């Protein structure tokens, strides 16, 4: 067992509480099944129950939970050794770790330290190495399973959330959840980082289509030819005047050619008049016939005929007639905008539970972890035309608290007209999606950076220009003008309580939960530069509006609401239009005449120290 100092243990405890609150559950009466892993022969499923701090063992023959394994924190990912004797479980905490579970004894036998909020453990085909995505450290740990030592950490772009390894073990495909870079450019998207496992470095970053954000899962087909990635394809360039035909958000699956490590194409999972919101888990049936996608927002799974889809994509690459009468042709570039492309190749299966996330396929059965109903969906596709659907409770029925109802409503696309999106489509984990949106609350043609909702109820007014008097108003306006629905009072009130329950996640810039030496010096500079006058502790905002000289075009001389700096490390890019990719840029490049704090006379070292303090909040 690894030993931790008292200070580190305290950091872990505080971090676990913060993370639990972040995802909307600070008591463990709910299970919140998040991930599913099937054993090789398919007899057992291992289910990571996030807010219960346990892994359930589900017998697929008996259709019931036969055991539970206690985990010292929220389990965020699962991997099984080839001999099926060990289960590797990532624990989502700032001082992250991987628990090694002895399956026969049903207990944790060792803990391996990794990075901040680890997830997506993947074992190399030869069983020698374990790869772990450290979400908030923006890197991937490589662990030697013989020595149980971490060999290195490989930097990737932003919030690695899922990964899959090639059948030969040579490359690890890592899905970065959010876009990296400025938001005021013509092209912004999240990327898939391809790690060369021998060289232990990123060989390539594969850009997804413009507007790709909130990547949630990735899998490699059983034949090893393709990687499939779920994500939102946002139409952020459009003003938010309507929802029809995916005007604001579409829901997508991107296909990557594994051999040449290039994006083959992206297909839309929606129908023309019905969104398939928040695609999450993805897997392939072992016979290579179907791609299966869980939709956390619209509470369904989609089955895609894999062979027919690839044939149609091949035809599209060469251009072919859609209709002989119209003599129209579809080309590869058109596919990502075509809501009808998969119409005759997919089947959407409605589930009984709420919030399916993780997904697994065993034989003719597809299993989905129904996060909000504490249940397991079982979809029998032996007869694909008439799949049988059941939902099996994983524990005792629990009455939903108002906070839990609010978390569900925040992630529920049935609240939205034609279920194109949920609140979480633009605010993952109630934070920011890294894009600029042209909302109509302050005019047209002036897009602004999506804001984190953390502390929004405590720091009125809200929105970038403070156009809403308080968060309660913004919640109801969001439902009405972005979801295009009438806000039901009980759901709006519940969303308020959910958002108010959120707690900040400890910054990855902290050292054992404390300011680093540079950050301590930065704190002194924060006072000297007069930053604290507008950003006073503990909320780090005075809740006033100022013209800090950053407005351009329609926003010239505009007064902006002073944002809280709490958890600002997580909400890049910065400024109202997302032009600044880093806090350093805010302090040095976009601070004309010191209107945004007296920083122009600071040297490079002092700027770095000041930035480190701000990013530690």
Residues 497 and 542 in one domain: no
What is the arithmetic mean of pLDDT over 128-142?
Answer: 98
pLDDT at residue 324 in the model? 52
Dist. CA 89–CA 132, nearest whole Å:
10
Q: Is 609 helix (H, G, I), strand (E, B) or coil?
A: helix
Could you tell me if residue 548 is inside a domain?
A: yes
Of 451, 470, 501, the residue at which a domain comes to its end is 501
447, 479: one domain: yes
Please give the pLDDT value at position 9.
Answer: 35
Same domain, 490 and 571: no
Q: What is the pLDDT of residue 385?
A: 82
Dihedral angle, C-alpha 431, 436, 438, 440, nearest 10 °: 30
**Tens of pLDDT along 282-298?**
999 999 999 999 999 99
Q: Is residue 266 part of a domain?
A: no
Q: What is the pLDDT of residue 251?
A: 98
Whether 11 has a pLDDT exceeding 80, the answer reads no
Residue 167 has pLDDT above 80, yes or no: yes
Given a cut of 60, whether residue 22 has pLDDT beyond it is no
Would you give the DSSP letter of residue 507? Answer: P
Rg of the chain, C-alpha, whole Å: 24
What is the pLDDT confidence band of residue 16, given thresholds at 50, 70 and 90? Answer: very low
Name the residue among 246, 233, 464, 230 with its Cα closest to residue 357.
230
Residues 539 and 585 in one domain: yes
Instruction: Flag whether 543 is in a domain.
Output: yes
| Pair 492, 414 in one domain | yes
In a domain, residue 576? The reply is: yes
**What CA–CA distance (Å, rounded) separates 154 from 511?**
20
Give the contacts of 246 (CB within 8 A, at least 6 positions apart): 235, 268, 270, 275, 339, 420
Look at residues 207, 203, 186, 206 and name the one whose alpha carbon lies nearest to residue 195.
203
Q: Does residue 212 carry a pLDDT above 90? A: yes
Q: Establish if 48 belongs to a structural domain.
A: no
Do residues 493 and 537 share a domain?
A: no
Q: Could you tell me the pLDDT band of residue 27, with boundaries at 50, 70 and 90? A: low
Is residue 144 situated within a structural domain?
A: no
What is the share, in percent, of the chain residues with pLDDT greater than 90? 85
Are 421 and 489 members of one domain?
yes
Residue 429: its pLDDT value, please?
Answer: 96
Residue 15 has pLDDT above 50, yes or no: no
Q: State the residue range of the domain holding 431.
A: 404-501
Residue 597 lies in a domain: yes
Is 21's pLDDT higher than 50? no
Query: Which residues share a beta bridge with 91?
Result: 75, 97
- Residues 492 and 417 grouped into a single domain: yes
Comparing CA positions, the residue from 428, 396, 434 lying closest to residue 578 is 434
Total length of the chain: 617
Give the residue from 501, 535, 553 where a domain finishes: 501
Q: Could you please report the per-residue DSSP string of 407-460?
A: HHHHT-GGGSGGG---GGGTSGGGS--S-EEB-TBTBSS--EEPPP-TTGGGS-
Question: Does one domain contain both 444 and 478?
Answer: yes
In a domain, 80, yes or no: no
Nearest CA to 160 out of 116, 219, 204, 129 is that of 116
Residue 83: what pLDDT?
A: 85
Of the candidates 106, 105, 253, the residue with the CA atom closest to the CA atom of residue 175: 253
Of the two residues 168 and 487, the one the predictor is more confident about is: 168
E-state strands within 549-588: 560-561
Average pLDDT score over residue span 385-393? 93
489, 551: one domain: no
Number of domains in the chain: 2
- Which pLDDT tens digit goes with each residue over 564-583? 999 999 999 999 999 999 99
Report whether pLDDT(192) > 90: yes
CATH number of the domain that residue 522 is part of: 1.10.760.10
Residues 533 and 491 placed together within one structural domain of the fold: no
Last-in-domain residue among 472, 501, 530: 501
Q: Please compute the mean of the pLDDT values over residues 118-128 and round it to a whole number.
A: 97
Answer yes or no: do 492 and 421 share one domain.
yes
- DSSP for 194-255 reads EEETTTTEEEEEEEPSTTEEEEEEEEE-TTSSEEEEEEEEE-TTSBSS--GGGSSEEEEEEE
Largest CA distance in the chain: 75
Residue 241 has pLDDT above 80, yes or no: yes
Per-position DSSP letters for 253-321, written without gaps between them: EEEEETTTTEEEEEEE-SBTTB----EEEEEE-TTS-EEEEEETTTTEEEEEEHHHHHHHHHHHHH-EE
């Amino acid at each position: 067992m690894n030993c931790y100092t008292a200070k580190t243990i305290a950091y872990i405890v505080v971090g676990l509480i913060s993370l639990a609150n972040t995802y909307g559950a600070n008591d463990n009466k709910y299970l919140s099944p998040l991930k599913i892993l099937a054993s090789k022969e398919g007899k057992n499923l291992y289910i990571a129950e996030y807010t219960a701090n346990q892994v359930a063992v589900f017998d697929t023959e008996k259709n019931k939970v036969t055991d539970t394994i206690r985990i010292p924190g929220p389990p965020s990912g699962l991997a099984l050794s080839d001999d099926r004797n060990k289960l590797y479980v990532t624990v989502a905490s700032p001082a992250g770790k991987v628990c090694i579970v002895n399956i026969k004894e049903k207990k944790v036998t060792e803990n391996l330290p990794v990075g901040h909020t680890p997830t997506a453990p993947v074992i190399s085909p030869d069983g020698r190495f374990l790869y772990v995505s450290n979400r908030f450290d923006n890197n991937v740990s490589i662990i030697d399973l013989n020595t149980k030592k971490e060999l290195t950490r490989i930097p990737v772009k932003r919030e690695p959330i899922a990964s899959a390894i090639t059948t030969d073990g040579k490359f690890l495909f890592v899905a970065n959840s959010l876009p990296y870079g400025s938001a005021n450019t013509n092209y912004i998207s999240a990327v898939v980082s391809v790690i060369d496992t021998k060289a232990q470095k990123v060989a390539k970053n594969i850009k997804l289509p413009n507007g790709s954000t909130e990547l949630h899962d990735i899998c490699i087909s059983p034949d090893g030819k393709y990687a499939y990635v779920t994500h939102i394809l946002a139409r952020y360039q459009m003003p938010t005047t309507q929802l029809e035909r995916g005007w604001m958000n579409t829901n997508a699956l991107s296909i990557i050619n594994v051999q040449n490590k290039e994006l083959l194409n992206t297909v839309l999972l929606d129908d023309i008049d019905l969104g398939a919101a928040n695609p999450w888990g993805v897997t392939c049936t072992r016979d290579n016939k179907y791609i299966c996608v869980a939709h956390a927002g619209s509470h369904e799974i989609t089955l895609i005929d894999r062979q027919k889809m690839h044939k149609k994509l091949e035809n599209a690459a060469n251009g072919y007639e859609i209709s002989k009468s119209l003599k129209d042709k579809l080309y590869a570039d058109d596919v990502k905008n075509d809501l009808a492309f998969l119409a005759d190749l997919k089947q959407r299966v409605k589930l009984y539970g709420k919030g399916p996330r993780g997904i697994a396929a065993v034989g003719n059965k597809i299993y989905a972890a129904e996060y909000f109903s504490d249940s397991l969906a079982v979809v029998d596709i032996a007869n694909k035309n008439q799949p049988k659907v059941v939902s099996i409770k994983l524990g005792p029925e629990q009455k939903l608290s108002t906070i839990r109802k609010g978390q569900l409503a925040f992630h529920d696309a049935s609240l939205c007209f034609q279920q194109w999106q949920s609140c979480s489509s633009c605010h993952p984990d109630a934070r920011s999606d890294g894009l600029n949106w042209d909302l109509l609350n302050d005019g047209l043609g002036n897009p602004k950076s999506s804001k984190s909702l953390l502390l929004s109820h405590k720091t009125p007014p809200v929105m970038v220009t403070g156009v809403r008097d308080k968060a309660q108003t913004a919640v109801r306006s969001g439902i009405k003008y972005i979801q295009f629905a009438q806000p039901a009072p009980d759901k709006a009130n519940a969303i308020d309580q959910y958002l108010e329950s959120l707690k900040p996640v400890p910054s990855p810039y902290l050292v054992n939960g404390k300011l680093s030496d540079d950050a301590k010096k930065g704190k002194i500079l924060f006072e000297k530069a007069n930053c604290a006058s507008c950003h006073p502790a503990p909320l780090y905002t005075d809740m006033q509006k100022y013209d800090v000289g950053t407005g351009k075009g329609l926003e010239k001389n505009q007064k902006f609401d002073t944002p809280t700096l709490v958890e600002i490390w997580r909400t890049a890019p910065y400024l109202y239009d997302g032009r600044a990719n880093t806090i350093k840029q805010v302090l040095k490049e976009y601070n004309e005449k010191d209107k945004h704090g007296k920083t122009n006379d600071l040297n490079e070292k002092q700027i770095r120290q000041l930035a480190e303090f701000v990013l530690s909040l």
